[in-house]
Amino acid sequence: MNIYHLFQRHAEANPGEIAFISGKGRWTYQQMDREIQLLAAQYHQKGIRAGDRVLVFVPMSYKLYRLLLALFYLGAVPVFIDGWAGWKRLNRCCDIARCKAFAASWQIRLVALFSSAVRRIPIKIGASYRSGAAAIPPVSVREDHPAIITFTTGSTGAPKAAVRSHHFLDIQQQILNEIIRPDPGDIVMSNLPILVFVNLASGCTTYLADISEKKMAKADFSRLIDELNKHRVSRLILSPFLLDQLMSASEKSNKKPETVKKVFTGGGPVFPGQAAFIERILKPCEFKVVYGSTEAEPISIVDGGILASSAIDHGLLAGDIHKGISVRIIRSTNRPLYWEDVEILEEGPDAVGEIIVAGAHVLDTYLNNETAYQFVKIRDPEGRIWHRTGDSGFMENGRLYLCGRCSSLICFEGRLIKPFIVENALKCLAGIENGTVLLHKDILVFIIEKNRLYDESLTRSIISGWGFMRFDIMITDKMPKDPRHHTKIDYARLRLWLESGRMKK
């Protein structure tokens, strides 16, 4: 079992089909397979073997996926750490992963010498290939052999190394195939890295836009629409922020991605108003929102049109639970749990608790981190491992609703304040781009990113009408968002701003 073989199957059956398109060229499946084998032989000559962990710092590109498949070819294990990680976090992650090799461009390798942990990694490799190394056959590994390790922070605040096996990736891509229903002739744009493997496993073409994560907000989205039409992109799999920016550019420029037939988004909350806007621009495309996490993707799916017309009086509709996963709502707590301590809640909007999940595509282990495992995993009497998502929500009529992170729920004046309800309500007010609420020094603080139409007295009057008597309003120039998808509000950073006095009234 080796995930490389899913790619190889299409390379042998359809060698002339295009695997990747970017501004730097296009590559057929056959050409990519040949380069993968050359790169694998080169890495083997350097000393990389099955089971070796390789820290990868290569941006999302054709070179990245060629490198990853070359490592799969060898049975080696790519390790990913967020590109925005500081030196302290990078060193901690390296201590956990204990990598044998470091893969990056020479410029990144030079900068990474500032990290003592990276300096200790014995083998340094690049992403470019050259001929000369003796060819070797692909390595067969057991289905439980690790394929990819990715670091996530989650509710504990400490780096957690999530391990995906080759078998897990195979199951996950089968499930995502059922949702996405790719056609071999599809041309797909995605900024969600793991989803590109679905394209490669199904024989689709991946279009890689020249948009870096750090400069996403300043990208020329009008030009991107032209590129989508030029390359006849038929499917979009994008983060909510990127999809929203693309739709805004479409409305302003009066251009439409005319060849797009299916659109999927995930990685952060999508509120009804945003869904309605996307639905209006894309109509009649198929549009779906997927809820999941690093450890469990997907958990639930909702049609964009249904989400757009849904009320958010009690929670944000996340849709129908995927058939391959089990979901329970439990009494929320910030301590580790054993199954005998778990209190499973009944259905209904008054039964808000933490969402836990179990199933074949739910990761059940972390690398060298027993503390993280104890905090977010629960073993039931049947031996199933349940993952604590850290998200709060409830079930009603078999559908899942989200209320926000468990750590962001607020008990105030005898009421449970759900951040997603407040954030949606604020976004619906004139003059407010984004907003949320935090409890600070026993006072509710509504934090608002305003625009030119903002009216403070009107906003105060509306918030008072919500039944809040003791509150304050603070203004921020820009609501901080997660660096990965630019979609989730960074509550931890907001709290630091409040405590440091950075926020202004």
Share of the chain above pLDDT 70, in %: 97
Per-residue pLDDT tens for 135-157?
A: 899 999 999 999 999 988 644 45
Q: Which pLDDT does position 62 carry in this prediction?
A: 94
- For the CA atoms of 207, 294, 118, 100, the dihedral, rounded to the nearest 10 degrees, stands at -90
Q: What is the mean pLDDT of residues 306-325?
A: 95
Task: Report pLDDT digits (tens) over 155-206.
Answer: 445 688 999 999 999 999 899 989 998 887 899 999 888 889 889 988 999 9
For residue 317, the number of C-alpha atoms closer than 13 Å in the C-beta half-sphere is 23
Instruction: For residue range 251-279, list pLDDT tens digits in order.
Output: 999 999 999 999 999 999 999 999 999 99
Total domains present in the chain: 2
Question: Quick check: is 438 in a domain?
Answer: yes
Question: Residue 101 belongs to what domain range?
Answer: 17-165
pLDDT at res. 155: 44
Those residues with Cβ within 8 angstroms of residue 7's Cβ, 6 or more apart along the chain or in another chain: 29, 33, 69, 200, 201
Give the residue from 137, 165, 193 where a domain finishes. 165
What whole-number distance in Å separates Cα of residue 60 and Cα of residue 456?
42
Res 156: pLDDT? 45
Low-confidence winner among 104-108, 124-128, 295-299 (lowest mean pLDDT): 104-108
Least confident interval from 103-117, 422-436, 443-457: 103-117
Q: Is residue 57 part of a domain?
A: yes
* Residue 28, in any domain of the structure: yes
Q: Average the pLDDT over 441-463 and give the result.
A: 93
- Report DSSP letters for 289-335, one per residue: EEEEETTEEEEEEEEHHHHHT---SS-EEEEEEPTTEEEEEE---SS
**Could you tell me which residues are beta bridge partners of residue 443?**
440
> Under a CB-based contact definition with an 8 Å cutoff, are residues 367 and 345 in contact?
no
Which residue, of 130, 150, 165, is where some domain finishes?
Answer: 165
Looking at residue 26, which CATH number applies to its domain? 3.40.50.980
For residues 19 and 61, is the Cβ–Cβ distance under 8 A?
no
Per-residue pLDDT band at 503 (split at 50, 70, 90): confident
Q: What percent of the chain has pLDDT over 90?
A: 73
Per DSSP, 131 falls in state S
- State residue 193's pLDDT score: 86
Is residue 459 a part of any domain in this protein? yes
The per-residue pLDDT for 185 is 87
**Mind listing the pLDDT tens digit for each residue in 402-416?**
999 999 999 998 899
pTM for the model: 0.93
Residues across the chain: 505
Residue 89 lies in a domain: yes
Taking residues 436-465, report their average pLDDT. 93
Asked if residue 138 belongs to a domain, the reply is yes
The answer as to whether 338 is a domain residue is no
Output the domain CATH number for residue 479.
Answer: 3.30.300.30
Q: What is the CA radius of gyration of the chain?
A: 23
pLDDT for residue 460 is more than 90: yes
Q: Is residue 399 part of a domain?
A: no
Instruction: List pLDDT tens digits, range 85-112.
Output: 677 888 888 888 999 999 998 888 887 8
Which pLDDT does position 92 carry in this prediction?
85
Domain finish residue from 165, 180, 202: 165
Per-residue pLDDT, 83: 65
Task: Classify 196 in phi/psi space as left (phi over 0), alpha (psi -120 to 50) or beta.
Answer: alpha
Q: Average pLDDT of 203-216?
A: 82
pLDDT value for 465? 93
pLDDT tens sequence across 340-385: 999 999 999 999 999 999 999 999 889 988 888 899 999 999 999 9
